[in-house]
Structure 1
Amino acid sequence: MVHFDPAEPLAAQTFAELALELHDAPSVEDTVEAVLEFALQAVNCTHAGLTLSSRGRAEIGAVTDPAVESIHQWQIDTGDGPLITSLREQINIGTPDTRADERWPEWGSKIAEMGIASGLQVPLAVGDHTVGVLSLYSTEVDAFSNDDLAVAHILAWHASIAVAAARHQASMVQAIDARKLVGQAMGILMMKFDVDGDRAFAILKRYSQDNNRKLRDVAQEVVDTRKLPH
C-alpha cells in the first residue's frame, strides 16, 4: 500500500508509487480497492466508492462501507442520481450540500439521512470510453476544495488506465482458457467418433448454434461428461 503523510504535499513520487501498485494489482477487484484506499488518505473524504461500467451496465466495483453501497445500488436500480449522470455524460459532478441539492432531491434526502453532507463524482475514462466513476463523500458540507478535485482527477486517470489494463488482461486469460477447453473437447470428440480436428470443431460449433449456447460452455460439458450434450 502506498504510504501517504497528510502533513506533506502530494508529490509526483507518491502518484508514481500508486501507479506501480495499481499496475501490480492481480485483478480488477484489487485495482479498485487500491484506488479507494488511496483516496481515503489523499482526499478530504470520509467515504468512497468506485462504480464500473461494463457493456453499458453500471456495477459496483468497491465501496468503503455499506452506506455507499446502498446509495450506489439505489442509483443503478433507478437510473437516477449524480453517479449515473457522471457515468453517462462523462462529467465531474460536485454536490456541496446534499440537503440543498435540487437536481436529485430524492437522492439528496437519502444520502443526507446517512450522514453524508457533500459528494464528488469523477468519471474514469480512456479516450471517449467511460470505464467507471470514482465517488468521494464527506460528512462535512462543502468538503472538497479545488486541490481535492485536482487530486481526484489524477487518481481517476491512474485508475482508468489500471482498470482498462486489468480488464484486458482478464479477457486475454479467459480467451486462452477457452481455447484450451475447446481443444480438449475436440480431442475427446476426435477419439470418440474417429473424426479429424475440423470435423470435431464443426460438431461443437453446430451444438453451440443449435442450442444457443456459448461454444465454451458446450466444450466444458463435453470435457466434464466425455460426451455430446443432449
Structure 2
Amino acid sequence: MLLDALRSAAHDLIDRRNFRDLDLLLSRIVLTAVETVPGADAGGISTTTDGLLGSQNPTSGVISKLDQLQSELREGPCISAIDQLPSDGLVIVDDLAGDDAARWPRFAPQAVEQGYRSMVSVQLTREPNLRAALNLYAAEPEAFDADARLTAALFGLQAAALLFGADTARHLQHAVDSRDVIGQAKGILMERFTVTGDQAFQMMVTSSQETNIKLVEVASWLVGEADQRQPPRGHHHGL
C-alpha cells in the first residue's frame, strides 16, 4: 500500500514536472503530498530567500497565513525543519493544543484557532540558494501515525531530488543562455571593429570591469543594441 502510494506520487510528479517553472513544480509537490500522506488535510511549502521565509503554493489562504505567521514570528515547525536540521528531516507535531504548544508558544494557539491541531514539516533542501520545507496540516490531533511519518519522509526525499534536479537544470540553462548571448556579442564586435574573437571578448571584459556591469549583461546590451539598428522587415533602401 505504502509503496503503491509512493510510486503513484512519483509518477504524478514526474509526468507533470516542468524544470523551467519552479512555481509549477512546487504546486505539484504540495498537492501530491496532501493526496499521498495519510492524515494530511492541507499543505504548503516554506522557502527562504536572502534570510526571508515565504509561503509557496499553499492549498488555502489559511495555510498561507499560517506559513507566513511562522516567518514573522521566527518560530514554528517549518522554521525548525529548515533551521535546526532534524536528524530524520522531520518535525512532528502531535497536538498544538497540548504539550506541543510549549515548543512554539506564539504560533500554536493561532494555528489551533484556524482549525489545525497537528502538523508534520519535512525538510526538502538546505542549499544556499534554495532552502525549503514541506508543511502538512491536519485538523485532528495525532493525525500522523508511524505510516504517515514514513510516507512523509520518503515523499520528502522524492521531492528534494526533483527540486535539486530543477535547480540544476535552471543553472545549466542559464549557463547555456549566457554562453549564447556572449557568442552573439563577440560576433557583433568582430564585424563592427574588425577584431579577432579573443580581442572582442577582451573588449567586453574591459567594459564589464570599467562599468561594474556583469559580462553577460554587457553582452545582452550589445545584442539588443544591434537588434535596434536592424531596419524593419520589408524595408528596402531607395524605395
Instruction: Describe how 1:108-127 pairs up with structure 2 within 5 A.
Output: 108-125=108-125
SS of alignment partner, residue 26 of structure 1 = coil
Offset at residue 188 of structure 1 (A):
1.4
SS of alignment partner, residue 45 of structure 2 = strand
Could you give the per-residue CA deviations for residues 50-109 of structure 1, whole angstroms, max 9, x where no partner exists? 234567664444221222222223333453322122111222222222234122222113
**Matches of 1:79 and 1:202 in 2, distance apart?**
48
Aligned residue number for residue 18 of structure 1:
9
Moved over 4 A (4+): 53-59
**Matches of 2:82 and 2:192 in 1, distance apart?**
51
Instruction: Describe how 1:95-174 pairs up with structure 2 within 5 A.
Output: 95-100=93-98, 101-125=101-125, 131-174=131-174
SS of alignment partner, residue 93 of structure 1 = strand
Could you give the per-residue CA deviations for residues 158-186 of structure 1, whole angstroms, max 9, x where no partner exists? 10111101111111111101110111111
Q: Which 10-residue stretch deviates more, 30-39 or 49-58?
A: 49-58
Instruction: Describe how 1:1-230 pairs up with structure 2 within 5 A.
Output: 9-10=1-2, 12-24=3-15, 25-27=17-19, 28-43=22-37, 44-53=39-48, 58-91=53-86, 92-100=90-98, 101-125=101-125, 131-226=131-226
**Cα 1:56/1:175, change in 2 over 3 Å:** farther
TM-score, structure 1 length as denominator?
Answer: 0.82
**Matches of 1:53 and 1:112 in 2, distance apart?**
25
Q: Which 10-residue stretch deviates more, 164-173 or 37-46?
A: 37-46
Residue 222 of structure 2 aligns with an amino acid whose one-letter code is: V
Residue 103 of structure 1 aligns with an amino acid whose one-letter code is: R
**Matches of 2:143 and 2:107 in 1, distance apart?**
18
CA RMSD of aligned residues (A): 2.6
Residue 192 of structure 1 aligns with an amino acid whose one-letter code is: R
TM-score, structure 2 length as denominator?
Answer: 0.79
Task: Give % identity.
Answer: 26
1:121·1:133 contact (CA, 8 Å) conserved in 2? yes
2:73·2:107 contact (CA, 8 Å) conserved in 1? no
1:124·1:132 contact (CA, 8 Å) conserved in 2? yes
Q: Which 10-residue stretch deviates more, 33-42 or 165-174?
A: 33-42
- Number of matched residues? 217
